[in-house]
Amino acid sequence: MKKGVIHHVTPNINGGWSVRKSGASKAIRVFKNKDDAISFANRIARDSETGLFIHKRDGRVTTFKTFEKKRA
């Protein structure tokens, strides 16, 4: 995992779900439903070898994943 880089799936104030990097003020992308946001965030985190926090509607973390490329 790249040191210090984490992505988050968080509730959006408009009722949807946002995917953002830690510390970013703007979302990378906003989705109407959580499943689509998680699917997109998984792809980004896997491709960039980062961590991923998935939050509940109340903001609590439900899941944390880390992604690293398999070493040969």
β-pairing verdict for 29-31 and 17-21: antiparallel
User: And the tokens for 10?
Assistant: 């968080």
The pTM score is 0.87
Walking along the chain (72 residues) 10 residues at a time, the average pLDDT comes out as: 80 95 93 97 93 96 87 60
Q: What is the DSSP letter of 41?
A: H
Task: Decide: helix, strand or coil at residue 10.
Answer: strand
